[in-house]
């Protein structure tokens, strides 16, 4: 008994299918082929970096110590000048030298703090405080130098035993214009130090 005839499938001679739509050529910059049932990948966009204030650079601790050392040096130079010339100074010369010392102390401290701390506001304030302290102790140290030169170690010992605050009282004065000059020197030192630190630090990154 013969079997019914069935068509034989030959993969080599299968009929051509419908033409495929033209796609992107494979190569550099071409998207990867898309599998059936999947959506093509969207091209990526570069991430936008948010624009905001950059973190402040600088070294506020280093600026404090640099300003402190500079203030000590300027104060010692001022004390040396007073020590060398106090015999020929009038009261107006004493006041003028004191205010000039305050201005120079504030300028040196402020410039160095601005260079090291850049835009750090806290460092600018600390520089102003250092300049004020340096101005005060520069004057009191000059009083000590003059006492040592005039009376030697015995005079210095008597001063320390009798009233150790004599240099500070000499800075404060006996009233009137002397006290105003003393306070004005501190204001000049603080304003100069803070202003220069802000000005120099503003141009630093």
pLDDT in tens, the chain (205 residues): 555 555 554 555 555 555 555 555 555 455 556 555 555 555 555 555 455 555 557 788 999 999 999 999 999 999 999 999 999 999 999 999 999 999 999 999 999 999 998 888 888 999 999 999 999 999 999 999 999 999 899 998 998 898 889 999 999 987 677 889 999 999 999 999 999 999 998 876 6
Does pTM top 0.75 for this prediction? Answer: no
Q: How many domains does the chain have?
A: 1
- Domain span at 114: 60-202
What the block records as the tokens of 132 is 């004020």
Residue 155 in any domain: the answer is: yes
Crossing angle of the two packed helices 121-162 and 60-85, in degrees rounded to 10: 40
Please count the other Cβ atoms lying within 10 Å of the Cβ belonging to residue 197: 33
DSSP state, residue 175 = S
Residue 18 in any domain: the answer is: no
Residue 33 in any domain: the answer is: no
Residue 46 in any domain: the answer is: no
Contacts with 48 (C-beta within 8 Å, 6 or more apart), sequence order: none
What the block records as the tokens of 5 is 């005839």
Long-range contact list for 157-160, CB < 8 A, 24+ apart? none
């Amino acid at each position: 008994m013969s079997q019914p005839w069935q068509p034989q499938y030959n993969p080599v001679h299968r009929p051509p299918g419908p033409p495929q739509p033209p796609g992107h050529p494979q190569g550099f910059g071409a998207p990867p082929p898309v599998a059936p049932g999947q959506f093509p990948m969207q091209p990526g966009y570069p991430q936008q970096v948010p624009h905001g204030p950059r973190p402040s650079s600088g070294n506020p601790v280093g600026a404090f110590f640099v300003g402190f050392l500079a203030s000590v040096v300027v104060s010692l130079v001022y004390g040396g000048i007073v020590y060398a010339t106090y015999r020929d100074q009038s009261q107006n010369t004493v006041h003028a030298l004191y205010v000039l010392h305050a201005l120079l102390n504030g300028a040196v401290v402020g410039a160095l703090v601005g260079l090291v701390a850049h835009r750090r506001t806290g460092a600018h304030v600390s520089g102003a405080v250092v300049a004020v302290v340096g101005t005060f102790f520069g004057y009191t140290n000059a009083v000590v130098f003059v006492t040592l030169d005039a009376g030697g170690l015995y005079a210095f010992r008597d001063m320390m035993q009798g009233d150790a605050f004599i240099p500070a009282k000499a800075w404060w004065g006996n009233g009137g214009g002397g006290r105003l000059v003393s306070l004005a020197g501190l204001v000049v030192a603080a304003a100069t130090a803070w202003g220069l630190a802000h000005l120099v630090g503003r141009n630093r990154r």
